[in-house]
Amino acid sequence: MTDRFNLYKYAAPATFYPLAGKLIPWFAAASVIFGLAGLYLGMLVAPTDFQQGEGYRIIFIHVPASWMSMFIYLVMAFWAAIGLAFNTRLSGMMAQALAPTGALMAFLSLWTGALWGKPMWGAWWVWDARLTSELILLFLYIGYMALTAAIDDPRRADKAGGLLLLVGVVNVPIIYFSVKWWNTLHQGSTVNLTKSSMATTMLYGMLLMALCFWMYSIAVAFMRVRTIMLERERHTDWVKAELEGDAR
């Protein structure tokens, strides 16, 4: 125990639990501030897009959600690699805490993509390369969550889930390019979700929204990882102290 304490001081749940608790309000506040600023720029100030009309405003949440869904998967794979290489306890918990948020982001990306597609393409769903890849990403999230939920032993769940994430992350580019190739062979969608020259206000609005989504994801993942930590470490002294301190 002592060697781990020195080496992975901040990775130790006993240290990370209170740290995450202190950080959550800050990330949540940052998310709200970025979100309000992004919405102000995107919804109130930014001019209309001459090609897509006001419907383009959906991209202010569609693009951040898509980015986050991919980014969270990469972060999970990063934690998985750390966890498998150094056998740290925190990494598996982080990956599991991030997964539901990543899946929700993938869902949001699909939902907003469909609502964008209906007026632009005339259909709720088009087998566009990006939407299709996003759907497959959602499947990967669901597979990961199903696997970790099916394994009772948390150590095995972490490692098996981590291995699946690494296999997934190797496959994601292959899947993406094969879907893209399949798409160009079969039709090739005409209107792109995010092309066209964006005005700077639009760009700033979108970047602010992306920051909002990022901060939100961190805040929720920290909240979730704290619950997972309590559950997993319930026999340790620090959890008992934490719970007793809470009661007072």
Partner 1 sequence: MLKIILAVVGRDLKLAMRRQADIVSALFFFVIVVSLFPLGIGPEADLLRKLAPGVLWVAALLATMLSLPRLFADDHRDGTLEQLALAPHPLGLVVTGKVIAHWLVSGLPLALIAPVLGIQFDLSNDALLVLTGAILLGTPALSSIGAIGAALTLGLRGGGVLLSLLVLPLYIPVLIFGAGAVDATVSGLGGEGHLSLLAAMTLASLGFAPWASAAALKIALE
Partner 2 sequence: MIYWNSFADFIHMGGYGLYVWGSFGVNVLIMAIEPIVVTRNQKATKARLKRQIRAESRSTE
Binding at 17: pick from partner 1, partner 2, none (beta carbon under 5-8 Å per type):
none
Among 67, 139, 204, 238, binds partner 1 (CB under 8 A): 139
Q: Is 55 in the site for partner 1 (CB under 8 A)?
A: no
d(CA 122, CA 111): 15
Residue from 25, 99, 34 nearest 69 by CA:
99
Amino acid of residue 221: A
Question: Strands, E, within 80-236: which ranges?
Answer: none
Annotate each residue in 228-247 with x if it binds partner 2 (CB under 8 A) or - if it does not, as one string.
--xx--x----xx--x--xx
What token pair was written down for 9? Answer: 């001081």
The amino acid that residue 146 corresponds to is A
Residue 142 found at the interface with partner 1 (CB under 8 A): yes
Residue from 91, 112, 132, 133 in contact with partner 2 (CB under 8 A): 112
- Tell me whether residue 121 or residue 127 sits nearer to partner 1 (CB atom): 127
Nearest to 52 by CA among 117, 142, 149: 117
| Chain centre distance of CA 152 | 24
**DSSP single-letter state for residue 197:** P
Q: Which of 185, 197, 237, 244 binds partner 1 (CB under 8 A)?
A: 185
Nearest to 94 by CA among 104, 83, 86: 83
Least CB distance from residue 34 to partner 1, whole Å?
32
Q: Which residue, 122, 107, 106, 115, is CA-closest to 191?
A: 122
Q: Shortest gap between Cβ of 141 and partner 2 (angstroms)? A: 14
What would the two tokens of residue 179 be?
A: 């879907």
Residue 45 or 170: the one with the smaller Cβ distance to partner 1 is 170
Piece of 67-75, 91-99, 144-152, 222-230 that binds partner 1 (CB under 8 A):
144-152
For the chain, the maximum distance between any two Cα atoms, rounded to a whole number of angstroms, is 66
| 163 part of the interface to partner 1, by CB under 8 A | yes
For residue 171, the partner it binds in partner 1, partner 2, none, with Cβ less than 5 to 8 A by kind, is partner 1
Is residue 112 within 8 Å of residue 65, measured between CB atoms?
A: yes
Helical pair 59-86 and 89-121, crossing angle rounded to 10 deg: 160
Q: How many chain residues touch partner 2 (CB under 8 A)?
A: 41
Q: Name the nearest CA neighbour of 30 among 213, 207, 201, 224.
A: 213
Interacting residue ranges for partner 1, rule: CB under 8 A: 136, 139-140, 142-143, 146-147, 150-151, 155-156, 159-160, 163-164, 166-168, 170-171, 174-175, 178-179, 181-182, 185
Interacting residue ranges for partner 2, rule: CB under 8 A: 28, 43-48, 53-55, 57-58, 61-62, 65, 100-101, 104, 107-108, 111-112, 115-116, 118-119, 216, 219-220, 223-224, 226-227, 230-231, 234, 239-240, 243, 246-247
